[in-house]
Amino acid sequence: MKILMLTPYLPFPLLTGGQTRSFNLIKRLSSLGHEITLFCLVKNAEEKNYVNELEKYCQEVKIFRRPEKPWTIGNILGTGLSFFPFLVIRNWADGEKKAIEEKLKKEKFDLIHAETFYVMPHIPKTTIPILLVEQTIEYLVYRHFAEDFKYFFLKPLLLLDVSKMKYWELKYWSIASLVAAMSLDDKKIMLSQNPNLKVDIVPNGVDSKYFSKKVTDRSSDPIILYVGNFTWLQNREAVQVLVNDVWPLIKEKLSKAKLWIVGKSAKNFFPNIESESIKVEEVKDIREAYQKATLLVAPIYGGGGTRYKNFEAFASGLPVVTTSIGIRGTDAHDGKEVVIRDSPKDIAKAVVALINDKKLYGHIAQNARRMVSQMYDWNPIALRLSNIYKELGRS
């Protein structure tokens, strides 16, 4: 099928969950016979150097510039003077809508695939079926942030923006021919807002062969790991909870333990938390972090979507301790494929207990690796998406 795909990023290099998802699916969809024309956003000229990685799998790749920094005067004024929320204004690219309109006049496409609702304003009026893929329910993420924002005098402005975001997110759900959610939890939330909505599930996944390939040895001393893209609000919040509330309790019981905070922009957002026992860094090969660490610990309290870190840890044979919110979107069960605890105190207790119980540690690691290879590998997920393409295209 001939697909026009829109993404709010260039799907390479694989620095974020969105890039990882899109690249892996594009690569596999191409091998399944789909012809993909990719329209995507970039923040700087250097990103153009990676276009050739996508051209291996796409018929054409066209890029459009958005502001490199989110909090520009233009973005702030644009948000204040329009009905659109900041997330849409921040991801608006001059010229993309016109280019799409011209493209649709010249070529016949079977389907438009929009990755995230905030690329939808670029799509002109059309009769072509639209698949909207929601990697997370954005208004819930930002509402959680706004409600906990420490500067109370700015809360009304943030909550106003969240209300605009919810309006447009639900609006674009209804415009799409089909919405793809990441998990059953997200699907249920969508249907609670619009019972007539057509929703399917195309989950996140992992290249299980890649992450199971051994590149280093497990550390002899305990290493507690947190991995994330720290431009994302939930990851920054989780690190604050981990460092302030969970880590001191672990350190009391495991004096030789180390804490690693690893991922995109880690040093930018956490320049002052490094110590003798805490390391903050980015790594070239994330598999080294997963395979050296003893546990992935993720005290996540903001809902929506699924977490790549869980899948990557599972595939790497690294047990995960997280919250009931942090494990949403998977079929992992407490005590079988994962350890689930919700309070910082209980998380710390579970970490210490799991490290000291080698039998349970091995049991959880083995079960999680088996689950992710059977249920969350990119190959069957891409096939599922391919079948959705065919059904929508026929309609």
Torsion of CA 222, 224, 227, 231, to 10 degrees: -140
* 154 and 9 housed in the same domain: yes
* 104 and 174 housed in the same domain: yes
Core vs surface per residue 207-223: b (16+ CB within 10 A) or e: bbeebbeeeeeeeeebb
Checking if the pLDDT of 305 tops 60, the result is no
What pairs with residue 61 in β-bridges? 38
58-76 average pLDDT score? 93
Tokens of 54: 């996508």
pLDDT, position 99: 98
pLDDT per residue as tens digits for the range 219-242: 999 999 999 989 888 899 999 999
* 270 and 246 housed in the same domain: yes
Output DSSP code: residue 95: T
Task: Round to whole Å and give the CA distance between 88 and 120.
Answer: 9
Query: 3-state DSSP call for residue 109?
Result: coil
Nearest to 108 by CA among 122, 129, 94, 90: 129
What region, left, alpha or beta, does residue 305 occupy, with left being phi > 0 and alpha being psi -120 to 50 degrees? left
How does the average pLDDT of the chain come out, rounded?
94
Domain span including residue 338:
208-375
pLDDT, position 275: 95
* 147 and 257 housed in the same domain: no
Task: Round to whole Å and give the CA distance between 168 and 142.
Answer: 14
What pairs with residue 279 in β-bridges? 260
Give the pLDDT band of residue 63 (cuts 50, 70, 90).
very high
pLDDT, position 303: 66
Q: Which amino acid is at 135?
A: Q
* 224 and 136 housed in the same domain: no
C-alpha atoms less than 13 angstroms from C-alpha of 126 in its C-beta half-sphere: 24
pLDDT, position 359: 97
Tokens of 167: 């309006």
* 253 and 341 housed in the same domain: yes
Give the CATH number of the domain where residue 264 resides: 3.40.50.2000
* 129 and 258 housed in the same domain: no
Query: How many residues are given for the chain?
Result: 395
Question: Is the overall model pTM greater than 0.75, yes or no?
Answer: yes
Q: Which residue has the higher pLDDT, 333 or 234?
A: 333
* 283 and 228 housed in the same domain: yes
Question: For the purposes of burial, counting CB atoms within 10 Å of the CB of 173, is it exposed (0-12), middle (13-18) or buried (19 or more)?
Answer: buried
Give the pLDDT band of residue 251 (cuts 50, 70, 90).
very high
Task: Round to whole Å and give the CA distance between 377 and 326.
Answer: 19
| Count of the separate structural domains present in the chain | 2
308-321 average pLDDT score? 96
Nearest to 279 by CA among 350, 221, 326, 332: 221
Among 11-20, 32-41, 313-322, 349-358, which is the least confidently predicted range? 11-20
Which residues fall within 8 angstroms of residue 220, CB to CB, at 6 or more apart? none
Beta pairing, strands 320-322 & 339-340: parallel
* 218 and 364 housed in the same domain: yes
* 198 and 223 housed in the same domain: no
pLDDT per residue as tens digits for the range 136-179: 999 998 998 898 888 888 899 999 999 999 999 999 999 999 99
* 46 and 195 housed in the same domain: yes
Task: Round to whole Å and give the CA distance between 17 and 136.
Answer: 11
* 191 and 221 housed in the same domain: no
pLDDT, position 328: 87
What pairs with residue 131 in β-bridges? 113, 178
Give the pLDDT band of residue 69 (cuts 50, 70, 90).
confident
Among 54-68, 87-101, 257-271, 291-305, which is the least confidently predicted range? 291-305
pLDDT, position 306: 60
pLDDT per residue as tens digits for the range 256-300: 999 999 998 899 999 999 999 999 998 889 999 999 999 999 999
